[in-house]
Amino acid sequence: MQQTPSVVTRLGLGTETLPSLGTSPNHANIQVIKRDGTTASLDVSRIRKVVEWSCAGMDVNPITLEAGLKTRLRNGVTTREIQDNLINCALEMCSPDDPDWRYVAGRLHIWSLWKDTLVSRGYQYGNYAQTVQANVSIHRYNEKILTYTAEELQEAGSWINPEWDTDYDYAGAVLLTKRYLLPDELPQEALLTCALLLASVEVPEKRLIWAKRFYEAIAQRKISLATPILANLRVPNGSLSSCFIVAIEDNLESIFREITNTARISKNGGGVGVNVSRIRSTGSWVMGKFNASGGVIPWIKLLNDTAIAVNQGGKRAGAVTVSLDIWHLDIPEFLEMQTENGDQRRKAYDIFAQLVVSDEFMRRVQNKEMWSLVDPYEVKTKLGIDLPTLWGKEFEIAYEQVEKAITTNKLVLYQQINARELFKMVMRSQVETGMPYLWFKDTANRANPNKHEGYIPGGNLCQESWSNVLPGKLAHTCNLDSLNLANLELEELPEICETAVRLLDNTIEVSHAPFQDSADHNQHYRTIGVGCMGLADWLAKHRLSYTDLPSISHLFEDIGYYCTHASMELAKERGVYPAFEGSEWSKGKLIGAKPVEWFVDNAIQKERWVELSQAIKKHGIRNSHITAIAPNTSSSLVQGCTASVLPTYSRFFYDKWAKGTVPIAPPFIKEYFWFYSENKTLEQTKVVKAIATIQQWIDTGISMELLFNLNQGVYFPDEPDRSLQAKDIFETLMLAWQEGCKAIYYIRTVQKDDFKEADDTCSACAN
């Protein structure tokens, strides 16, 4: 049997007496109520042991934490109240000069969890095999965990290191325990069970080897599991995929089928992108009658209400982004469907708008040329052109034919507008609401390795993951994890990338897809997304900034290479993804469907890319898409690092939570304070160039948020009265397209020193 946590033994705190806190000289007269309901006299020695433990190794003075409780005790106080008071004291003392108090508060929160678990089930980290059996018997754990024998579970239990529970700061500890843990479950039990289930598809003689490797990478926070995996893997029939995309055809059967599929995705906590570009526009024909169609908005409203109604088991509203091609006649109303004015029956306030933008449109914006909005139904029936399915040169040729048809009066449903003026409408909405997202269709489809089988219609909820979608047959489905760069060094990358790729490939086998189109896509393309978080921490630790583009490029060249190489090695072991033949991979092209010559010209280590290209042509590759960088806004707090690959908003700030304000700071704030760039004052063109540099080595996408500070003098220190203008934002957005970024996620603004942001939906997807 495993031992109870070494920290508990070291403190001399048995399994019956809970920590009692106090500093009054008359403490013997104070009776406290313990968590099991019994009473006892306040014991000062125990408070000191707990405080000393929580402060051990931190740059804090434990005496100040004790002193903070002098006026907070009373007869009949509960040990839980005392513990909460200690936590509050630690949080109140946290500051940019004393950031370690947030770790003290985190340890105290974990201590409470340990004690609650002890009272509830009678032991802490005592017997993992017993815990598994108990949870399976009440259908709390997936019975697939019993693939392992009792002896194997006992061996796995011996890997648990309770000290890893104490590495979380307060924000991370609270999110971990409240969002991810099941009742009567401890953190290391949850992480170990996930690792064992992910390794259950391995051959029997290697299951424990890989399970241990998965567990140590996850528990030491070198790899972060996406929310659906961490939350759903242990429960029976859990859906583990993070990102979904469906496309709706222009008929009732398809519309209601995909609304139902959206509900199934939402039920399981996934985020979904829904492309509606095929649906006929307002005023189009229905059953031969002109001006009978209500356009896309009524159907978007149904998706909106579905997201509200199917609210992820009561946790939060569903998360749906609806994408529409920029040429669609309903674009003006689409941009206004979240404003307060107008017909409320044609509003959709709870979906996330996404524009599918072509290169041709962006060129016309650049040149202030006219742009034509048309009805896809009329274009298809009169001209035989299926516009939504086209991109690149084929779209440009077809669009030229469409505009000629307008001039010859063959089309009656159209609107012509200056492209720059339309883009201004887009920008105005972005500054006010954070949306619409911009997804660059041609850039994304040029990088698609599966052009031989179709096209990508739009982006997912968080604008980082996509692949081919075929309505009624294949719905994009992707499984995500992330490398925590704050906890990694370059020499660890080969092994940790291999682990991350294998972990996700295994996820496909143990996941329960929410509907058949998703299951079929999972098997056909085996799409995964290894992402990254903590780039700001990695840069600070190496005394670098977001302008050090060669260093950033070198880091992500390594990540791109090792992840791609790992998928090739998996193909040798397990076989290629079914759509491999005819793909860009099969032709020797590499990340982003780029020819190997590009890597010879641009890579630091050129020869390894040539060898990898040859190996993939010979052995194939296991996963059609391999890397994608999610926003990780919430899960980065659990990981104790900065989110995604973006700069930290501020070096130190307080976030408002339901239980009060919580201090947030990056992990190396004390050692490398000045090396952290603050996004709230960082010129966003630098962010765009950094993301574009990273994008070269990421085969899918990157969730790129842009944050514009509208206060005077922020970007122009020599001109204190000057503030950011619309022209500056316009040029930044244009730069993103020109530099090869595939999407722009939220646009956020800082006004009057307040952080104004749209509702964060990432917790429904990768987080």
One-letter-per-residue 3-state SS of 424-445: HHHHHHHHHHCCCEEEEHHHHH
Say if CB 244 and CB 272 are below 8 A apart: yes
Residue in this structure with the two tokens 């005496």, named with its chain if needed: 63
Tokens representing 645?
Answer: 């690959």
pLDDT of residue 413: 98
Pairing relationship of beta strands 437-440 and 653-657 according to DSSP bridges: unpaired
Say if CB 315 and CB 364 are below 8 A apart: no
Run of H or E residues at 283:
none
Pairing relationship of beta strands 747-751 and 706-709 according to DSSP bridges: parallel
pLDDT of residue 755: 40
End-to-end CA distance of the chain: 35
Residue in this structure with the two tokens 């089928």, named with its chain if needed: 257
For 260-293, letters b (16+ CB in 10 Å) and e give: ebbbbbbebbbbbbbbbbbbbbbbbbeeeeeeeb
User: Does any domain span residue 7?
Assistant: yes
pLDDT of residue 720: 86
User: Does any domain span residue 44?
Assistant: yes
SS3 608: helix
Q: Where does the pLDDT of residue 762 fall: very low under 50, low under 70, confident under 90, or very high at 90 and above?
A: very low
**CA dist 359 → 292, 445, 601, 742 (Å):** 32, 11, 25, 11
Residues with Cβ within 8 Å of 611's Cβ and at least 6 positions away in sequence, in order, are: none
Q: What angle do CA 571, 590, 504 make, to 5 degrees?
A: 45
How many domains, in total, are found in the chain? 1
The closest alpha carbon to 477, from 451, 507, 502, belongs to 507
Give the mean model confidence (pLDDT) for residues 263-269.
Answer: 88
**CA dist 396 → 257, 281, 363 (Å):** 31, 21, 11
Run of H or E residues at 417:
strand 414-418
User: Does any domain span residue 54?
Assistant: yes
Would you tell me the crossing angle of helices 128-137 and 187-199 to the nearest 10 degrees?
80
As a whole number of angstroms, the longest Cα–Cα distance in the chain is: 96
Length of the chain: 767
User: Does any domain span residue 444?
Assistant: no
The closest alpha carbon to 238, from 177, 312, 303, 306, belongs to 312
Residues with Cβ within 8 Å of 667's Cβ and at least 6 positions away in sequence, in order, are: 486, 537, 640, 641
User: Does any domain span residue 63?
Assistant: yes
The beta-strand segments (E) located in 231-379 are 243-247, 271-275, 319-325, 352-357, 370-374
| Residue 5, pLDDT above cutoff 80 | no
User: Does any domain span residue 491?
Assistant: no
pLDDT of residue 28: 59
Active-site residues, by number, are 460, 462, 464
| Residue 761, pLDDT above cutoff 90 | no
User: Does any domain span residue 86?
Assistant: yes
What would the DSSP string read from start to end of 628-640? -B---TTHHHHHT
Instruction: Give the integer Cα–Cα distance in Å for 747 and 433.
Output: 8
pLDDT of residue 758: 40
SS3 661: strand
pLDDT in tens, 420-476: 999 999 999 999 899 999 999 999 999 999 999 999 999 999 999 999 999 999 999
| Residue 634, pLDDT above cutoff 70 | yes
Instruction: Report the mean per-residue pLDDT for the chain.
Output: 92
Looking at the chain, the whole-number percentage of residues with pLDDT higher than 70 is 93
pLDDT in tens, 544-594: 999 999 999 999 999 999 999 999 999 999 999 999 999 999 999 999 999
Distance of CA 258 to the CA centre of its chain: 23
pLDDT of residue 765: 52
Phi (first) and psi of residue 551, to 5 degrees: -70, -40
pLDDT in tens, 46-90: 888 999 999 999 999 999 998 887 656 788 888 888 889 999 999
Pairwise pLDDT comparison (702 vs 270), residue with the higher score: 702
Tokens representing 35?
Answer: 């968590």
Instruction: Give the integer Cα–Cα distance in Å for 22 and 89.
Output: 13
Distance of CA 115 to the CA centre of its chain: 32
Q: Tell me, what amino acid is at 604?
A: I
Residues of the domain holding 7:
1-121
pLDDT of residue 22: 40
pLDDT of residue 71: 53
pLDDT of residue 312: 67
Say if CB 12 and CB 24 are below 8 A apart: no
Instruction: Give the integer Cα–Cα distance in Å for 175 and 489.
Output: 26
Q: Residue 224 class from Cβ within 10 Å (0-12 exposed, 13-18 middle, 19+ buried)?
A: buried
Sign for the pseudo-dihedral over CA of 490, 650, 104, 107: negative
pLDDT in tens, 354-377: 999 999 999 999 999 999 999 999
Residue in this structure with the two tokens 């004052």, named with its chain if needed: 681
| Residue 20, pLDDT above cutoff 50 | no
For 68-89, letters b (16+ CB in 10 Å) and e give: bbeebbeeebebbbbbbbbbbb
Q: Where does the pLDDT of residue 6 fall: very low under 50, low under 70, confident under 90, or very high at 90 and above?
A: very low
Pairwise pLDDT comparison (23 vs 61), residue with the higher score: 61
The whole model's pTM is what?
0.93
Pairing relationship of beta strands 660-664 and 653-657 according to DSSP bridges: antiparallel
Tokens representing 28?
Answer: 């013997």
| Residue 700, pLDDT above cutoff 50 | yes
pLDDT in tens, 120-159: 999 999 899 999 999 999 999 999 999 999 999 999 999 9
Q: List, in sequence order, every residue forming a beta bridge with 352; answer none if it has no partner.
A: 321
Say if CB 690 and CB 552 are below 8 A apart: yes
Instruction: Give the integer Cα–Cα distance in Å for 295 and 278.
Output: 11
For 174-178, 342-346, 400-404, 521-525, which range has the lowest pLDDT when averaged over its residues? 342-346
Q: List, in sequence order, every residue forming a beta bridge with 78; answer none if it has no partner.
A: 33
**What is the number of helices (H) and of strands (E) in the chain?**
28, 18
pLDDT of residue 617: 98
Helix residue spans in 620-702 (DSSP H): 635-639, 684-695
| Residue 757, pLDDT above cutoff 70 | no
Give the mean model confidence (pLDDT) for residues 612-631.
Answer: 98
Give the mean model confidence (pLDDT) for residues 97-115.
Answer: 96
Phi (first) and psi of residue 697, to 5 degrees: -110, 5
Tokens representing 517?
Answer: 């189109």
Looking at the chain, the whole-number percentage of residues with pLDDT higher than 90 is 83
Other Cβ atoms closer than 10 A to 251: 12
pLDDT in tens, 646-662: 999 999 998 887 667 89
Pairing relationship of beta strands 476-484 and 223-225 according to DSSP bridges: antiparallel
Q: Residue 264 carries which DSSP code?
A: H
User: Does any domain span residue 621?
Assistant: no
| Residue 13, pLDDT above cutoff 70 | no
For 583-621, letters b (16+ CB in 10 Å) and e give: bbbbebbbbbbbebeebeeebeeeeebbebbebbeebbb
